[in-house]
Amino acid sequence: MGLLDGKVALIFGIANNRSIAWGITKAFADAGATIALSYAMESLERRVRPLAEEIGCDFMEECDVTDDAALDDVFKKVEERFGKIDILVHSVAFANRDDLGGRFVDISRDGFKMALDISAYSLIAMAKRAEPLMSDGGSIISLTYYAGEKVMPDYNVMAVAKASLQIMTKYLAKDLGPSKIRVNTISAGPIKTLAAAGIPGFKDLLRHFDHVAPLGEMITIEDVGNAALFLASDLSKMITGEIMHVDSGYNVLGLTATREEIQARE
């Protein structure tokens, strides 16, 4: 018996085998879920198809999450094929490189709108379409980062998108609770992926992370996948509106400089 036997999971945001969405997909498939995958654009198809085949998934749909008609189409096809959704995963983010790094005050209006539309509003757009397909209740999970809570170097516009996603998680949890739909977000520690490569200071962040995080280890997509499995399953059936940190404990720290770094200044 798998934890997700009989459940259908629709997962947005798979780009390649390094994507957090792939770690989540594998964990769900191993737990018995039926998987439906959505990817951003045609050029990703050749990377996503072999991954889908690896887990025996034959539902793959292209969808730009800023396009309402494209979202309608994906949800309609899922309904036609499976009749329901039990789990929805939002693992999508994008910002112009110009709005990552540099000065926060230089974020452009257009860049702000685009980053927030793709990385945050899309969760509302997906939840609205998922609700009628979750008639037996469900679990909605998104991915956030600590930069939405505290200032981290270079995240700039993406920090605003993540803060937005985090408060949206709470409002959606309140809104969808009566339909027994739970909404949670996972705050993952830094992982080397395509999206992360767009953050100018990301390499420095990675180098620093395991030296100071309480558990002293980097985060993997498997770690995030396992946490998502818990949030997707009935094991977490009374948990909603939460920001769950999967970050080696980094978020509990007040001081993140190492003793060596501090002593080097003396």
- Residues lying near ligand NAP in the complex (CB under 6 A) are found at 13-15, 19-21, 40-41, 44, 64-66, 91-94, 118, 143-145, 188, 190-191, 193-196
The phi and psi torsions of 243 (rounded to 5 degrees) equal: -105, 105
Between 47 and 180, name the residue whose CB sits nearer to ligand NAP.
Answer: 47
Verify whether residue 145 is a known catalytic residue.
Answer: yes
Please state, as a whole number, how many other Cβ atoms lie within 10 Å of the Cβ of residue 222.
Answer: 13
Q: Measured from the CB of residue 52, what is the shortest distance to ligand NAP in angstroms?
A: 14
Verify whether residue 171 is a known catalytic residue.
Answer: no
Between 194 and 262, name the residue whose CB sits nearer to ligand NAP.
Answer: 194
Q: State the catalytic residue, choosing from 39, 146, 155, 250.
A: 155
Rounded Cα distance, 153 and 61, in Å = 35
Q: Measured from the CB of residue 144, what is the shortest distance to ligand NAP in angstroms?
A: 6
Between 151 and 262, name the residue whose CB sits nearer to ligand NAP.
Answer: 151
Residue type, 237: K
Among candidate residues 95, 188, 184, the one with its CA nearest the CA of residue 140: 184
Among candidate residues 39, 116, 115, 120, the one with its CA nearest the CA of residue 74: 39
- Residue 103 CA to chain centroid, in angstroms? 26
DSSP annotation of 153 reads: T
Q: Measured from the CB of residue 3, what is the shortest distance to ligand NAP in angstroms?
A: 22
Q: Measured from the CB of residue 5, what is the shortest distance to ligand NAP in angstroms?
A: 26
Among candidate residues 232, 129, 116, 235, the one with its CA nearest the CA of residue 183: 232
- Residue 239 CA to chain centroid, in angstroms? 18
Between 34 and 155, name the residue whose CB sits nearer to ligand NAP.
Answer: 155
Residues identified as active-site: 145, 155
